[in-house]
Chain A
Amino acid sequence: MSDARESRLTIGSDAPVLSIDDLRVTFVRRDLDLPVVRGVSLEIGAGETYGLVGESGCGKTTLAMALMRYLPANGRIDGGSIALDGEDMLAVSRERLREIRGTKMAMVYQDPATALNPALRVGAQIAEVYRFHGGLSKADALERARAALERVAMPDPAATLRRYPFQLSGGQQQRVVIAMALAGDPRLLVLDEPTTGLDATVEAEVLDLIAELRERIDASILLISHNLGLVARMCKRVGVMYAGRIVEDGPARDLLTDPRHPYTMGLLRCVPRFGMRKDQAGLVPIPGFLPRLGSGLEGCVFSPRCELATDDCRESEPELDHWSDAERARRARCYHSDQVSGMRAAAAERAPGAAATSAGGALEISNLGKIFRDGRRRIVAVNDVSLAVAPGEILGLVGESGSGKTTLAGCVTGLLKPDDGSIRFAGQELPRSVAQRGSERLRAIQMVFQNPDSTLNPAWSAGAILGRAVNRLGGLRGAARRARVEDLARRVRVEPQHLEAKPGELSGGQKQRIAIARAFAGSPTLVICDEPASALDVSVQASILNLLAELQASGGISYIFISHDLAVVRYLSDRIAVMYLAELMEIGGAEAVFTPPQHPYTEALMSAIPTIDFAHPRRRIPLRGAVPSLSAPPSGCRFHTRCHRMLGAVCIEQEPPWQDVGEGHAYRCHIPADELCDLQVAAAAGDPE
């Protein structure tokens, strides 16, 4: 491991608020030393927003924890220095540390629901900061808390003070957490994945707030995220982390449009940009795995996964400023920085186009309804949904959490029994419960689940899992069964020796591949993919999406593809259905749904995606208010409480009609198609950001 100090480029204002130099953090796990942060140096100037990007396990959260001196008991700082406002953070006393946390720096964590104490009113929690750090009286502190909520643009701050966290929406909770973090007027605000786990529209709301605060407060911000688009939107400068090191840094826009490290390029190539389609360009996954913590690392850490790697890379590691451009304030830890831009062309490998033939429906859902009963409460999770999936078609299903997408999928698979309506499959009525369906239909309808860690039985080997599926769904035994298992493994590109392994020994991507192979064991005709790639790192996500696209195209199989990621859905789907609060809002061709006329909800969802496309900034449509409760859905149009195009009383009183745009595209709104189209085209032409 090279321990040469990285030379520092001074960027931005003269005195940095935060300066980290050659920081090393090691975790001890099962008696082994695992270096997690391996010599990171960075500086954040006054008022600057710095973004730290990288996949899970690259050490970004550990860096933040070390910064706050919040490392767990098995973590220790091995070397380097952290200076906040010139003060050595590694030498301060416990007392001083308590003062510094809150007043000099503050942190906002990933999940607002667990960051707040559920048993205390919001007001008391924010006031606590003022009482602790400011020594204010209870009444004064509460007054300051109200002002703090006002600052984060909380609607009705006085009333919010008296609420408990569970009475607030996810976005409002995160506002409260941010208000608390800002309460001590910190010099540095650390945001660790502040919007991960929040819905797209809520994410956009929180990002808008942060963007706005950035102008108003004089704190510097360190934003940690795995999402390049988000960092691109929020930060002036970006550092890309890989295996505990910064591999590239520089101004966000410059870095993301002209990456100089193959890893940065790799990250950019494996996420579909919004508007990208599978028949236009394939995604390029980063091959291989993140090196296991504690394994011997020689040469450039990225070299085993790098297509540009040469013997030099494998022998010695380049310095962070091996390639640097002082004028653009750019640095990259790579010997071949000048070749990185050339990777782009080589990447344009096309995924085969899907041949969707809409002759007759493979699946027809009509007037489907599903009600959950919780004591006396009735929760209508799916209300009167009708849609059809043609053979060989990929239907994308999008919507915020709680919109009923997964429940709908559950009803199709038979794992949930619908209460209303009917599902016809290949021209025949499907029995409601999976137990009554018979082996032929079980074979034909399969599912790929979301969580790679629980989708496979940890006690079974991968081969046994596939073997059982082949036996049950394909009816094969003995040698035929073994042959089929090996064939399946080949198709999902899992090496035969991994069939011996149990899920605990496989990577997330491999587990998901086995799960996909399991679903394909009996040659299904309809596969439901419930967020199949969203729990995976982006580099792995790309290979899973490619695999799904390839399997679908080769066999004329229909998919129902559920995802909250609009770019992914648009990339993969032939048609898209948009759900909101248990109802279908819009359905149509993948392109049609994303161009005017479109349902105002789809319009808002689309505007909420953070983008790396600097040339075409998207106009943001903020959604008002929180998602209403399913147990008491709004009258009339369910979306009227948050709609930015609400007409008036008619939306509240009457259920909207389906507006048919033609070519199978229809949406549910009181505004007629041509009128809505004019409105949306005018809005798009109006103010771009």
Chain B
Amino acid sequence: MTFDELAAQAAPPSERVLRRRYVVRRLLRSPTFLVGAGIVLFWIFMALFSTHVTRFGPLDIDPYHTLKALSRLHWFGTDENGRDVLARTLAGARSVLVVAPLAAVFCLFFGGTIGLISGYYKGYTDEIIMRFVDVLLSLPVIVAAIVVVSAFSSHTQGSPGAQAAVVILVIGILFTPPVARTIRAAVVSEREKEYVQAARLRGERAPFIMVAEILPNILAPIIVEGTVRLGYAVFTAATLSFLGFGVQAPSPDWGLTISLDRTVIQVAWWTVLFPALALASLVVGANLLADGVRKVLSE
């Protein structure tokens, strides 16, 4: 028996812990991830605390100093209402950083659920769901979003919260198909594994297998998909507000500001340039973040 006892001896310590430490170390050494995370964190900080940092409030009107160029007092100049562009640019992160992450969470939730069901049941269920997803996927995102948001506009008039909710839901739903596809592919390969067979063999129900058995093992693609969708959501939310279907004036939202102030671009380019740069930096930051996470997790 001594042999078997020896045979059952401890395996050397933890591959899993090593792997986790390694992932963190790699992330902290990836310039892509670090730059992306830096930019995103900067904007999150600004969305929360910009009013404590800037001299002026984003909504403070000063009728005597409209369209002033860059100066020591107004680093980024002022707009046609005499509002400080720096304060507005920094505060403009707020609306987009509420809408985009929530929309990303929604599309992960819907897409994840659909992907799990579709990939787990296979057969006709899969076929029907995925064809429906294909239809949704073929819609041009912006056009579809405009249609839905305007359809709801009469109900949400006067309530910025409700309006934002509609935008979040619409973006979330429109981003569901690509997420559903990715998750489905991961589920399909996972469900054939023997531990799933073993679960079926002890009479586990389908929801349990999907949520408790499969879901924890497809977290990597879910995380990657989430960060990728975040970048797209920022972009889409800004586009919608640029077109006038998002938050309404006097919000310092970037898309909205660019849209409204482009009429004065020839005399006061700074009113458009700085919000545009801010928007671009957040989109780039989110994409860099996504790229870094994807590279490290897919190793």
Pair A473/B202 contact, Cβ less than 8 Å: yes
Pair A30/B7 contact, Cβ less than 8 Å: no
Q: Looking at the complex, which of B15-23, B87-95, B133-141 is the stretch in contact with chain A?
A: B15-23
In the complex formed, the residue of B with least CB distance to A449 is: B194
Find B197's partner among A295, A415, A510 (CB 8 Å cutoff). A415
A418-438: CB near B (< 8 Å → 1, else 0) gives 000000000000000011010
Find B217's partner among A284, A413, A458 (CB 8 Å cutoff). A458
Contacts of B12 in A (CB 8 A): 289, 292, 295
Pair B194/A450 contact, Cβ less than 8 Å: yes
Pair A493/B11 contact, Cβ less than 8 Å: no
Pair B11/A505 contact, Cβ less than 8 Å: yes
Pair A497/B217 contact, Cβ less than 8 Å: no
Pair A442/B203 contact, Cβ less than 8 Å: yes
Q: Mark out the residues of chain B between 1 and 37 whose CB falls within 8 Å of any chain A CB in the assembled complex.
A: 2-19, 22, 25
**CB of A446 within 8 A of chain B?**
yes
**CB of B295 within 8 A of chain A?**
no
Find B216's partner among A459, A510, A513, A518 (CB 8 Å cutoff). A459
**CB of B143 within 8 A of chain A?**
no
Contacts of A449 in B (CB 8 A): 194, 197-198
Pair B11/A289 contact, Cβ less than 8 Å: yes
Q: Mark out the residues of chain A between 445 and 491 whose CB falls within 8 Å of any chain B CB in the assembled complex.
A: 446-447, 449-451, 454-460, 468-469, 472-473
A13-51: CB near B (< 8 Å → 1, else 0) gives 000000000000000001100000000000000000000
**CB of A543 within 8 A of chain B?**
yes
Tell me the complex Cα distance, A459–B18, Å.
Answer: 15
Min Cβ gap A35→B in Å is: 16
Tell me the complex Cα distance, A460–B202, Å.
Answer: 16
In the complex formed, the residue of A with least CB distance to B196 is: A457
Contacts of A495 in B (CB 8 A): 8-10
Tell me the complex Cα distance, A449–B198, Å.
Answer: 8
Pair B194/A505 contact, Cβ less than 8 Å: no
In the complex formed, the residue of A with least CB distance to B19 is: A504
Tell me the complex Cα distance, A510–B25, Å.
Answer: 29
Contacts of A505 in B (CB 8 A): 11, 13-17
Tell me the complex Cα distance, A449–B196, Å.
Answer: 11
Find B203's partner among A305, A439, A501, A507 (CB 8 Å cutoff). A439
Pair B198/A518 contact, Cβ less than 8 Å: yes
**CB of B291 within 8 A of chain A?**
no
Pair B197/A546 contact, Cβ less than 8 Å: no
Pair A507/B11 contact, Cβ less than 8 Å: yes
Pair B3/A287 contact, Cβ less than 8 Å: yes
Pair A454/B195 contact, Cβ less than 8 Å: yes
Q: Mark out the residues of chain A between 521 and 550 whose CB falls within 8 Å of any chain B CB in the assembled complex.
A: 521, 540, 543, 546-547
B186-228: CB near A (< 8 Å → 1, else 0) gives 0000000111011111111000000001001100000000000
Contacts of A284 in B (CB 8 A): 3
**CB of A288 within 8 A of chain B?**
yes
**CB of A244 within 8 A of chain B?**
no
**At the interface, is chain A mostly helix, strand, loop or mixed?**
loop
Q: Mark out the residues of chain A between 265 and 310 whose CB falls within 8 Å of any chain B CB in the assembled complex.
A: 284-289, 292, 295, 305
Contacts A284-B3, A455-B194, A518-B198: A472 and B203 contacting too (C-beta < 8 A)? yes
Find A459's partner among B19, B203, B217 (CB 8 Å cutoff). B217
Contacts of B19 in A (CB 8 A): 504
Find A455's partner among B2, B10, B13, B198 (CB 8 Å cutoff). B198
In the complex formed, the residue of A with least CB distance to B299 is: A30
Min Cβ gap B30→A in Å is: 14
Tell me the complex Cα distance, A413–B198, Å.
Answer: 10
In the complex formed, the residue of A with least CB distance to B14 is: A505
Pair A434/B194 contact, Cβ less than 8 Å: no
Pair A457/B195 contact, Cβ less than 8 Å: yes
Q: Mark out the residues of chain A between 642 and 680 whose CB falls within 8 Å of any chain B CB in the assembled complex.
A: none
Contacts of B4 in A (CB 8 A): 285, 287, 493, 543, 546-547
Pair B200/A493 contact, Cβ less than 8 Å: no
Contacts of A543 in B (CB 8 A): 3-4, 7
Interface centre among B4, B193, B197, B201 (most CB of A within 10 A): B201
Report B's interface with A, CB cutoff 8 A: 2-19, 22, 25, 193-195, 197-204, 213, 216-217
Nearest 7 A/B pairs, CB to CB? A287-B6, A459-B216, A493-B8, A449-B194, A454-B193, A457-B195, A472-B202
28 pairs of residues in contact across A and B, judged by CB atoms under 8 Å: A30-B22, A31-B25, A284-B3, A285-B4, A287-B5, A287-B7, A288-B9, A295-B12, A415-B197, A435-B200, A442-B201, A446-B201, A447-B197, A449-B198, A450-B194, A451-B194, A457-B199, A460-B216, A493-B8, A495-B9, A497-B10, A498-B11, A505-B15, A509-B7, A510-B11, A515-B198, A521-B202, A543-B7
Known: A413-B201, A469-B202, A543-B7. 8 other contacts (CB 8 A): A31-B22, A292-B12, A295-B12, A305-B6, A415-B200, A449-B197, A456-B195, A504-B16
